[in-house]
Amino acid sequence: MTTGPLFRLSSVAAAIAVGLVVGSATLELGATHWGLALVALPFLVANAVVARVAYPALQARALAAGAAVLTAIALGGVVALSDDATWARALHVGAAGIALATALLVVAGALRGAPAPLASARDYLTLTKPKIMVLLLVTGAAGMFVGAQGVPPLGLFCTTLLGLALACGGASALNHVLDRDIDVLMGSRTKNRPVASGRVSAAQALEFGLLLSALSFALLASAVNLLTATLALVGNLFYVLVYTRWLKRSTPHNIVIGGAAGAVPPLVGYAAATGALALPALWLFLIVFLWTPPHFWALALMIKSAYAKAGVPMLPVVRGDGETARQIVLYSLAMVAFTVFVGLWLGPLYTAAAIVLGVVFVVLAVLLRRDLSRARAGVLFHYSLAYLALLFVAAALDPVLL
């Protein structure tokens, strides 16, 4: 059996992490032991998913390793909560030993034979959708500044953004895997994507996406906090499973609900800075949530024929251009009203930016309502990108400058 080099890397990382978990338990390192378990778990889950999809011969071993670690974690909880847990301690150690043994068996199976060749670095970079990632990182960074009420510590800032970038890149790679069938049908914009074109196999993209996702959780859980890691993972799963796998192909309201995934980065940033969530984090989340439909529907108007050809029920395909433009105006008005309202919490610099940027957004939405041309939709789409970035930069600068 030929396995991909990224799966081999992930299986080795899982085995090393499980070995460190066992070693830290032997040395009675306490919190470090639990932290290492959180590092090992996402790699084991990623390996189990990849094995099930791409390498069935390794599926049983990978599932057994993950199940053994989960059992060991549960028994560790019993040990921690029980005064007399000799039996639980014995089972806990036994489960950890089984986890290490099965993780090593996965490594042995993965390393057997010559590895499949890697795709080009450019294609792997394309899988992460870097242009989209930049905007997500801007909103995540702003969440950190708002949470810290000033400039966050540099080390924490860089670690959080790296973890968030890994989560976003992993979700985007998995999106390429799930959308490869409709990407082929949607014309020149998507048919040359790495997976759709065949330059990267679905198995390679799956390995890559899950490895990035596992690295994100491991990094954020160990170096930032568990809440931050969990929020990044939830956003990842919501985008991949709820939006891409389900909503996108089933309802014209797909982007209204699915937009919640893109609104998670400010929560990640805020939780990284504070260790908790509060109202300002919710306001930032809702701003992105309300911004997503008019932003994406402008794009959908530009490429409506491509969505129609692929059978994707985007709003312009199902309800027509006029209704889509009307919804864009309504959402734009609601978004701008909300962004100005939350200035009571986010500060005067942010409020001024919300008013000025919002007026332009509404004017462009109204102009699109009157002129449904592709060019007019393109103007609103490209402005919406600058709008969100500038609004969140203002939110970040407000506690620093005022």
pLDDT for 83 beyond 70: no
Question: By CB neighbour count within 10 A (0-12 exposed, 13-18 middle, 19+ buried), where does 375 fall?
Answer: exposed
CA angle, residues 14, 15, 18, in degrees to nearest 5: 85
| Residue 127 pLDDT | 96
Residue 27: band (very low, low, confident or very high) from pLDDT cuts 50, 70, 90: low
Q: What is residue 199's DSSP assignment?
A: S
Residues 178 and 265 in one domain: yes
Residue 30: band (very low, low, confident or very high) from pLDDT cuts 50, 70, 90: low
Provide, for the chain, the percentages of residues in helix, strand and coil under a 3-state DSSP scheme, each rounded to the nearest 5. Answer: 85, 0, 15
Q: What is the Cα Rg of the chain in Å?
A: 23
Nearest Cα to Cα of residue 396 among 362, 357, 346: 346
Residues 199 and 103 in one domain: no
Residues 195 and 58 in one domain: no
Residue 394: band (very low, low, confident or very high) from pLDDT cuts 50, 70, 90: very high
User: What torsion do the CA atoms of 246, 179, 171, 299 make, to the nearest 10 degrees?
Assistant: -90
Identify the domain containing residue 166 by its residue range.
121-401
Query: Cβ–Cβ contacts within 10 Å for residue 125, how many?
Result: 12
Total-model pTM: 0.91
Q: How many domains does the chain have?
A: 2
| Domain end call among 111, 141, 167 | 111
Model confidence pLDDT, tens digit, residues 339-383:
999 999 999 999 999 999 999 999 999 999 999 999 999 999 999
Residues 190 and 71 in one domain: no
Q: Token pair for residue 62? A: 């990978």
Q: Token pair for residue 54? A: 């791409």
**Cα 371 to Cα 377: distance, rounded to the nearest angstrom:** 9
| Residue 135 pLDDT | 96
- Bigger pLDDT: 78 vs 389: 389
Residues 125 and 187 in one domain: yes
pLDDT for 156 beyond 90: yes
> Could you give the percent of the chain with pLDDT greater than 90?
73
User: Which residues have CB under 8 Å from 142's CB, separation 6+?
Assistant: 266, 269, 284, 392, 393, 395, 396
Residues 84 and 217 in one domain: no
Question: By CB neighbour count within 10 A (0-12 exposed, 13-18 middle, 19+ buried), where does 286 fall?
Answer: middle
User: What torsion do the CA atoms of 169, 3, 21, 213 make, to the nearest 10 degrees?
Assistant: 10
Residues 41 and 183 in one domain: no
Model confidence pLDDT, tens digit, residues 272-288:
999 999 999 999 999 99
Residues 292 and 223 in one domain: yes
Domain-located, residue 116: no
Average pLDDT over residues 196-207: 93
| Domain end call among 93, 111, 129 | 111
| Residue 279 pLDDT | 95
Residues 100 and 153 in one domain: no
Average pLDDT over residues 299-307: 94
User: What torsion do the CA atoms of 294, 298, 299, 305 make, to the nearest 10 degrees?
Assistant: 130
Model confidence pLDDT, tens digit, residues 313-351:
999 999 999 999 999 999 999 999 999 999 999 999 999
How far CA 166 is from CA of 86, 217, 337, 361, in Å, comes to: 40, 9, 33, 31
